[in-house]
Chains A and B, each alone.
Chain A
Amino acid sequence: AQTVTQSQPEMSVQEAETVTLSCTYDTSESNYYLFWYKQPPSRQMILVIRQEAYKQQNATENRFSVNFQKAAKSFSLKISDSQLGDTAMYFCAFMKLSTDKLIFGTGTRLQVFP
């Protein structure tokens, strides 16, 4: 069975600094997707970034980028120029292409300080 592990329950960063959130996963599959979702205090789940496993190039979305290491089964999220609005829970998620299900990690709570 696939598992997703986020080993950092909480992180903090000062505004304008850079922070990296860790995620590792366990799978024997070769084709899959990886996602980072953000959940601010409003509870809304918001897609931050997605990565297809067959693509070697790391995905980027403005200030958000990933470091995808397929052999190491690692998928970290880097937030550059952190903003107060980045304060949220961040969830890493995995989806095997042959199923229709997302598997979530337990989340990392990120606090951005002024």
Chain B
Amino acid sequence: NAGVTQTPKFRILKIGQSMTLQCTQDMNHNYMYWYRQDPGMGLKLIYYSVGAGITDKGEVPNGYNVSRSTTEDFPLRLELAAPSQTSVYFCASRDRGTDTQYFGPGTRLTVL
């Protein structure tokens, strides 16, 4: 049971480049989340999804887009990378029975 997987683990982007962070879960959870964690800080919610085809903004959505075409996958898209998006990005899925979120290993993104 892989749980929540994220790719890539590390990435360096130049300002203005685009990329997609991949997230997949194999626990059949309807709820999925994207967070960012800046140095020395807690996690802030970027976007979340309550099921395939349904997404909603979190606390810090500007500069990001998401889609949810399947239950398993929840990719996060950065269209025009900016230095302010340098962060560690975590994907999570939620067990509706216990309301507990399970996290992927994170992606460290640096924008130069």
Write the residues of chain A forming the contact surface with B, with a CB cutoff of 8 angstroms. 4, 33, 35, 37, 42-47, 50, 91, 95, 97, 100-102, 104-107
Write the residues of chain B forming the contact surface with A, with a CB cutoff of 8 angstroms. 31, 33, 40-45, 48, 50, 58, 88, 90, 92, 94, 98-103, 105-106, 108
Contact check, B100 vs A50: say whether CB atoms are below 8 A apart: yes
Contact check, A43 vs B42: say whether CB atoms are below 8 A apart: no
Contact check, A44 vs B43: say whether CB atoms are below 8 A apart: no
Contact check, B101 vs A102: say whether CB atoms are below 8 A apart: yes
Give the residue of A46, A47, A91, A100 whose beta carbon is less than 8 angstroms from that of B42: A91
**Complex Cα spacing A43 to B94, Å:** 19
Identity of the chain B residue whose Cβ is nearest the Cβ of A109 in the assembled complex: B40
Contact check, B103 vs A45: say whether CB atoms are below 8 A apart: yes
Contact check, A107 vs B42: say whether CB atoms are below 8 A apart: yes
A-B contact pairs, 12 of them (CB 8 A): A37-B103, A44-B103, A45-B43, A45-B106, A95-B99, A101-B33, A102-B45, A104-B42, A104-B44, A106-B40, A106-B42, A107-B42
Give the residue of B94, B98, B103, B108 whose beta carbon is less than 8 angstroms from that of A100: B94
Identity of the chain A residue whose Cβ is nearest the Cβ of B59 in the assembled complex: A101
Chain B residue numbers with a CB within 8 Å of A33 are 99
**Complex Cα spacing A111 to B12, Å:** 30
Chain B residue numbers with a CB within 8 Å of A100 are 31, 48, 50, 94
User: Given A100-B94, A101-B48, A101-B58, are A44 and B42 also a contact pair (CB < 8 Å)?
Assistant: no
Give the residue of B41, B100, B101 whose beta carbon is less than 8 angstroms from that of A106: B41
User: Given A33-B99, A95-B99, A100-B31, are A105 and B105 also a contact pair (CB < 8 Å)?
Assistant: no
